[in-house]
Structure 1
Amino acid sequence: MSTTSLPSKPHYPILDGLRGVAALTVVAFHLFEAHATSHLDQFINHGYLAVDFFFLLSGFVVGYAYDDRWGKMSAGGFFKRRLVRLQPMVVMGMIIGALCFYFQDSVLWPTIHEVPVWKLLVVMLVGFTLIPVPVSMDIRGWQEMHPLDGPGWSLFFEYIANILYGLFVRRFSKMLLAVLVFLSACALIHLAVTSPGGDVIGGWSVTPEQLHVGFARVMYPFFAGLLLFRLGKLTHIKNAFLLCSLLVFASLAMPRIGGSEHLWMNGLYDSLTIILIFPLIVFLAASGEIKGRFSSRLCKFFGDISYPIYITHYPFIYIYTAWVANHKMPFREAWPVALLVFIICIILAYACLKLYDEPIRAWLKRVVLDKNKKQAAPPANVSL
């Protein structure tokens, strides 16, 4: 079966907008994280759950975009489409991460004077592929599988989920998919309530424990999103974007539950939010409509920058965190700089989208996808 050009489908604009709301909340979460002494006093305390929300959105959207196309598309064609969609910004995120690492200076990790440039370049090139780097190449010392751009870990697991879908899960019946989702939910609850921190935080290191966290975090939400799409019984919801945006932010901004004495309580909140609240939000959002021009433009803008800002913001978080640590700066004094970093991340994301990501994806579509369509086309004198 060949890779053919498939007609595009209309987006769910509210889902696009919610992806942007969650991505912007992640940036704020990471800025506040530089001032926290632990996860117990972290402001926007559950911002890390945005990753699980992204996984659920991805499963829903992948089902919507591809479930009815397998008669005209091979697994290879599916993988090529996902690479064209995701990989260009992965490369840009690693380039920005390498540039920031080269020029930054911090008491928190080695500087460029201690890390050979060749090693930095090798880590960047490996990062282009999203293959986790070994411990010997961890130039930052935070045990990240992608030390130049930490959020790359979630893209690594997103690719794994896409591979599982493209090779196997796309063939699952609703019942078999529901069994997979149920078992994944059980694994997620077990992880959350028994974890040493009382949460689902983790997944960014190449260790057995962290890989367990990463797989537990991606398996339920991604395939629950796919199941949610296949159930397909939507309703009509008024003011869905506003309602769902408030629900997303409230879920992520919820203060820590249970304190240091009852860690399992926060783990229970994490798992139930992922298992129940996030699917409800996606259901409501997919059921809503955007009518006003302002809301439509806002959802489009949020959706456009959501992926670019997620994959490019963290190198600037490294710099901000280093600045806070070097100067021992409390947030009440550092907030103007934090606001500036927040704005820079938005501007950079939009610039990367318009000047790099969209042109590169358009070129790759012509070269990789449309080229295969032309090669697969029969000669003009052959009847069909």
Structure 2
Amino acid sequence: METQVVAESQTTALGTKPHYAILDGLRGVAALTVVIFHLCEAHATSHLDQLINHGYLAVDFFFLLSGFVIGYAYDDRWHKLTVKDFFKARLVRLQPMVVLGMIVGAVCFYFQDSALWPTIHEVPVWKMLLVMAIGFTLIPVPISMDIRGWQEMHPLDGPGWSLFFEYIANILYALGVRKFSNTALSVLVVLAGAALIHYAVTSATGDVIGGWSLDATQLRIGFTRMMFPFFAGLLLSRVATLGYVKNAFLWCSLLLLLVLAFPRVGGAENLWLNGLYDSLSIILAFPLIVWMGASGKIAGAGAARLCKFFGDISYPIYITHYPLIYIYTGWVSNHKTPLQQAWPVALLTFVAAVVLAYVCLKFYDEPIRRWLKRKVLAKP
């Protein structure tokens, strides 16, 4: 969630540009939807009966949003920006919460109590701490070091996989793609879009879900999910002529929620139809939503505060909520509780995720980033 979740519309050392406040708010809408999607996932028997069925596409929305705002923030500044400065700015923005997310994940792993997961008695503390330390760097761990059993490249905090690909996208942008002409970038986007459609409609599951394991199949999914939306967002930031969309935050939020909550398409008999839905949502709907959001204006102090709050917590909630999901999933597994009965605990977990994110933001992320900006980004 930058993933994609985090994308900045300003740079400290080079001056500032206005925020796209509505895009900040949409980031929060998507991040909160991800939390609900993961809570419902604990009760699903397959992708076919999952509530908030396409919530996983929020990651692809984050990638596109990130590419758009990275282009807006940095594309016209490379005459006075070094690659080193760019990487330092991105590390300051992303890395503090990565570290805290892994710590939260380790604490929850240590105290988890469910037959669904290995216990701390089965996984040595030193191994958990080693996985946590590696997680601080976002370097994926091999499947042989998976201490949870889900084959995640970051077993203590699953969403770290998308941050890993966010970093790759940023590296590709800074080292080469930023120099592409609009024509060359368009060719890259078209090829990436074709690869996305091909994978989505031919995948064994009929969707684009995946990307979180360090094996050939999952790495292919991760790169396929990252390449089109991130660089399509970058291209959109370069070529789009913004208009004026009235009540843009409302309409964009409703359209985004419609895409993410839309029921499964095609059923088990026509998996390719859902893959087509996924790919067209990423290729057509998400750029439209971002364009509409960038074309809108916030009307009223209340809407401005809401968008700011949503934007502020979007990254912290994305990177810290999943350890709570592990606990909730384990509880559901222990008690075999259907959602109709488990909803009070699900609601409590959702509220806890929001509160945890806000506390992390105010008492850790913002102070740490202010300190790092003074120490790392400030020009002498």
- TM category (shorter chain) comes to over 0.9
Aligned equivalents of 2:303 and 2:358: distance in 1? Answer: 18
Partner of 1:274: 282
Q: 1:211 aligns with which of 219, 234, 241?
A: 219
Aligned equivalents of 2:201 and 2:150: distance in 1? Answer: 25
Is the Cα contact below 8 Å between 2:240 and 2:291 reproduced in 1? no
| SS of 1:71 mapped into structure 2 | coil
TM-score (norm 2): 0.96
Q: 2:143 aligns with which of 135, 138, 145?
A: 135
Partner of 1:287: 295
Q: 1:305 aligns with which of 307, 313, 320?
A: 313
Aligned equivalents of 1:147 and 1:105: distance in 2? Answer: 16
Deviation at 1:107, TM superposition (A): 1.4
Aligned equivalents of 1:359 and 1:315: distance in 2? Answer: 23
Gapped regions of structure 1 (runs ≥ 5) = 375-384
Partner of 1:382: none
Matched, 1:54 2:33: no
Partner of 1:244: 252
Per-residue CA distance 1:108-137 (angstroms, 9 max, x = gap) = 121101000000000000000000011221
Is the Cα contact below 8 Å between 1:88 and 1:361 reproduced in 2? yes
Q: 1:187 aligns with which of 186, 195, 210?
A: 195
Aligned equivalents of 1:33 and 1:324: distance in 2? Answer: 11
Q: 2:52 aligns with which of 39, 44, 62?
A: 44
| SS of 2:140 mapped into structure 1 | coil
| SS of 2:214 mapped into structure 1 | coil
Aligned equivalents of 2:113 and 2:16: distance in 1? Answer: 46
Matched, 1:119 2:127: yes
Is the Cα contact below 8 Å between 2:182 and 2:235 reproduced in 1? yes
Is the Cα contact below 8 Å between 1:120 and 1:139 reproduced in 2? yes
Matched, 1:200 2:208: yes
Give % identity. 75
Per-residue CA distance 1:59-117 (angstroms, 9 max, x = gap) = 00000110111011101110110000000000010000000000001111211010000
Aligned equivalents of 1:259 and 1:107: distance in 2? Answer: 31
Aligned equivalents of 2:199 and 2:99: distance in 1? Answer: 32
Is the Cα contact below 8 Å between 2:143 and 2:213 reproduced in 1? no
1:126 partner letter: I
Partner of 2:3: none
Q: 1:7 aligns with which of 6, 15, 19?
A: 15
Matched, 1:226 2:234: yes
1:116 partner letter: P
Deviation at 1:4, TM superposition (A): 8.6
Matched, 1:98 2:106: yes
Matched, 1:152 2:160: yes
1:216 partner letter: T
Aligned equivalents of 2:322 and 2:308: distance in 1? Answer: 23
TM-score (norm 1): 0.95
Aligned equivalents of 1:110 and 1:29: distance in 2? Answer: 24
Is the Cα contact below 8 Å between 1:31 and 1:317 reproduced in 2? yes
Aligned equivalents of 1:211 and 1:172: distance in 2? Answer: 25
Per-residue CA distance 1:284-332 (angstroms, 9 max, x = gap) = 0000000111111000000000000000000000000000001101111
1:265 partner letter: L
Aligned equivalents of 2:115 and 2:267: distance in 1? Answer: 30
Partner of 2:7: none
* Higher gyration radius (CA): 1
| SS of 1:202 mapped into structure 2 | coil
Matched, 1:362 2:370: yes
Is the Cα contact below 8 Å between 1:4 and 1:72 reproduced in 2? no
Matched, 1:343 2:343: no
Deviation at 1:339, TM superposition (A): 0.2
Partner of 2:332: 324
Is the Cα contact below 8 Å between 1:4 and 1:73 reproduced in 2? no
| SS of 1:162 mapped into structure 2 | helix
Deviation at 1:271, TM superposition (A): 0.1
Is the Cα contact below 8 Å between 1:4 and 1:77 reproduced in 2? no
Structure 1 runs of 4+ with >2 Å offset: none
2:239 partner letter: L
Partner of 1:235: 243
Aligned equivalents of 1:205 and 1:99: distance in 2? Answer: 22
Aligned equivalents of 1:252 and 1:136: distance in 2? Answer: 33
Gapped regions of structure 2 (runs ≥ 5) = 1-10
Q: How many residues align?
A: 370
Aligned equivalents of 1:214 and 1:203: distance in 2? Answer: 4
Partner of 1:378: none
